[in-house]
Amino acid sequence: MMLELGEIKEIRKKYNMTQIEFAKLAGVSQSLIAKIESNRIDPTYTKIKKIYDAINKLNKKKEIKASELLNTKIISIKENNSLKDATKLMKKHGISQLLVFDGKPTGMPSGLISEAAILDAIMNKASPDAKVKAFMMDCPPIVNKDAPSSMIGFLLKHYQLILVGKDNKIIGIITKADFLDKVYK
């Protein structure tokens, strides 16, 4: 995390902390914090490192966890179902993607089928009765329930959804809409 020294006061106030409270958290003196905030001192590297570490601690405490973001209603389909079945299920539930399971008792998905994948199949003249397995994408990443929102946000830039797992079972799903809805309420 790279920030300017002048931002320390703003960050401290964002967390409703006094200079004394922030100094104690960082392991530095209150007078050092006051001098930095008023731009009267050029602190040593070790002092700045302590202050940055304190800011990182504050940021981590405030982060929302995957368990607070997940949706436990998982709508899925089996690999051997047809594209037509997948389309009907998506339409019925107003969603754009489905987890795909192979039907084995492992409880872990084998992939993901999306509207985009089905559209590609249609454009390539696939039969509506073609099996989902032939057109599914790889399984999305699985995080544990304590994964921080910063990690989830990063993953959602690259994947349509994120799965939340516990004890080798999927306990929930986080879509971009879920993330935005809960992080920016």
Which helix (H) or strand (E) is 50 found in, with range? helix 45-62
pTM of structure: 0.65
pLDDT digits (tens, 9 = 90+) for 25-62: 999 999 999 999 998 888 888 898 899 888 888 877 67
Find how far residue 44's CA is from the centre of its chain: 35
Contact criterion met (CB below 8 Å) for 70 and 173: yes
The domain locations on the chain are 7-62, 67-183
Q: Which residue has the tokens 């004890």?
A: 167
- Exposure class string for 84-110: b at 16+ Cβ within 10 A, else e: ebbbebbeeeebebbbbbeeeeeebbb
Per DSSP, the residues of 86-139 read HHHHHHHHT-SEEEEE-SSTT----EEEEHHHHHHHHHTT--TTSBGGGTPBPP
7-62: CATH topology: 434 Repressor (Amino-terminal Domain) (1.10.260)
> What fold characterizes domain 67-183?
CBS-domain (3.10.580)
pLDDT tens digits along 54-92: 888 887 767 788 999 999 999 999 999 999 999 999 999
Place of tokens 């879509």: 175
Give the confidence band of 108 by pLDDT, cuts at 50, 70, 90.
confident
**Order of strands, sheet of 142-144, starting from the edge strand that comes earlier in the sequence:** 142-144, 161-166, 169-175
Taking the C-alpha atoms of residue 104 and residue 102, their distance in angstroms, rounded to an integer, is 6
